[in-house]
């Protein structure tokens, strides 16, 4: 089962500071087709302005200020799970703080710059509606886990015969012609804990299992066109390459006008690095 609430809270401003580091590091990769670092930057600035205004101008008699103050405290303690990703969930979680800010900022031209800075996300919000092109997976976690001190990064590789990635909005998947695998590379000398989520859809009734380090860690018996979801927790990645194998018991088949041999598809693969092993 998933550890509900894990990584949602942490030390004051710790995860917020990490999000700043990740956003600044991503800014050089910004292109016209990849504007998400700018969206993250506008969000980080906006919530900071809202926070500073509500802290520096307490208005205990105002109900909206008391609502905002509650989310000011929440803002301080939000954890990595809320700040990570593109788009981050933090701006949605802290939306009442933005409402309170907008209600309480005084009218007058001197306050216009403050009001604009606190609402920068209105200018970049459309960016977060565009799905991010990826390589068939999302790999998330604290920046210190995603990259080691030498600059080597954690990766997921598909060395076997997966077909090309396909998209439908924010959903993504890859078809497999049969037994297959992927590899998560841990760049650290120390082992890492990882949480993996995905869904499997089948062509023809079949059993699909996942093996890791020689042991089956998940399986599903699927009907034709059936789908099953997996949430795998407390997996330990040793230093270097860690192979996950997909094993199915029924041969692949051609479906309709698609000339490819299809067995199952791996969809919405997400791996979250949770921490280092002692």
Which residue did the predictor score with more confidence, 126 or 233? Answer: 233
Do 188 and 143 form a contact (C-beta atoms < 8 A)?
no
**Other beta carbons less than 10 A from residue 156's beta carbon:** 19
Torsion of CA 163, 166, 172, 173, to 10 degrees: -30
* Domain range annotation of the chain: 14-129, 138-276
CATH class of 138-276: mainly beta
| pLDDT tens for each residue of 158-194 | 877 898 888 776 678 999 999 999 999 999 999 999 9
CA distance 179 to 27: 39
pLDDT digits (tens, 9 = 90+) for 250-272: 988 888 777 889 999 999 999 99
Alpha-carbon distances, residue 120 vs 43, 87, 98, 137, 270 (angstroms): 7, 15, 11, 29, 29
Given its phi and psi angles, is residue 42 left (phi above 0), alpha (psi -120 to 50 degrees) or beta?
Answer: alpha
Best-predicted range by mean pLDDT (72-76, 199-203, 273-277): 72-76
Signed CA dihedral, 24, 30, 33, 35: sign only: positive
Nearest to residue 182, comparing CAs of 201, 202, 196, 166? 196
SS3 134: coil
Q: 């700040």: which residue's tokens? A: 83
Which of 133-137, 199-203, 225-229 is the least confident region? 133-137
Which pLDDT value is given to residue 82?
Answer: 85
List the alpha helices (DSSP H) in 27-106.
Answer: 36-56, 63-77, 80-83, 90-93, 95-104
CA terminus-to-terminus distance, the chain: 22
Question: What is d(CA 81, CA 8) in angstroms, rounded to the nearest whole number?
Answer: 5
Q: What is the pLDDT of residues 150-160, one digit of tens each?
A: 888 899 998 77
Q: Give me the phi and psi of 199, to 5 degrees please.
A: -130, 150
Please give the helix or strand (H or E) that residue 245 lies within, else none.
strand 240-248
pLDDT range class, residue 1, cuts 50, 70, 90? very low
CA 270 to each of CA 161, 197, 205, 223, 266: distance values in angstroms, whole numbers, following the listed order: 20, 5, 25, 24, 11
Token pair 């101008």 is at which residue? Answer: 57
> Is the pTM above the cut of 0.75?
no
Rg of the chain in Å (alpha carbons): 22
Asked whether 235 and 104 are in contact (CB, 8 A), the reply is no
Task: Map tokens 């905002």 to a residue.
Answer: 68
Among all chains, which residue has been given the structure tokens 């809270």?
9
Query: Would you say residue 132 has pLDDT above 60?
Result: no
């Amino acid at each position: 089962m998933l550890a509900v609430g894990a990584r949602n809270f942490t030390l004051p401003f710790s995860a917020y500071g990490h999000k700043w580091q990740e956003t600044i590091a991503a800014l050089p990769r910004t292109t016209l087709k990849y504007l998400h670092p700018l969206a993250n930057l506008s969000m980080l600035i906006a919530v900071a302005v809202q926070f500073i205004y509500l802290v520096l101008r307490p208005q205990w008699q105002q109900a909206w200020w008391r609502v905002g103050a509650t989310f000011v405290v929440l803002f301080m303690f939000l954890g990595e799970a809320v700040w990570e990703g593109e788009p981050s969930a933090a701006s949605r979680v802290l939306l009442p703080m933005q409402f309170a800010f907008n209600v309480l900022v005084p009218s007058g031209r001197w306050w216009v710059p403050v009001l604009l800075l606190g609402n920068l996300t209105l200018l970049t919000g459309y960016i977060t509606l565009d799905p991010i092109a990826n390589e068939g997976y999302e790999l998330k976690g604290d920046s210190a886990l995603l990259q080691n001190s030498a600059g080597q990064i954690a990766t997921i590789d598909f060395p076997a015969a997966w077909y090309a990635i396909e998209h439908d909005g924010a959903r993504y998947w890859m078809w497999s012609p049969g037994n297959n695998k992927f590899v998560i590379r841990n760049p650290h000398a120390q082992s890492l804990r990882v949480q993996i989520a995905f869904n499997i859809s089948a062509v023809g009734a079949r059993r699909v299992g996942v093996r890791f380090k020689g042991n089956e860690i998940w399986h599903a018996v699927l009907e034709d066109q059936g789908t099953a979801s997996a949430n795998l927790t407390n997996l330990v990645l040793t230093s270097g390459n860690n192979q996950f194998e997909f094993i199915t018991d029924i041969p692949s088949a051609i479906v309709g006008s698609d000339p490819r041999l299809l067995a199952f598809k791996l969809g919405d693969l997400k791996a979250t690095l949770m921490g280092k092993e002692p």
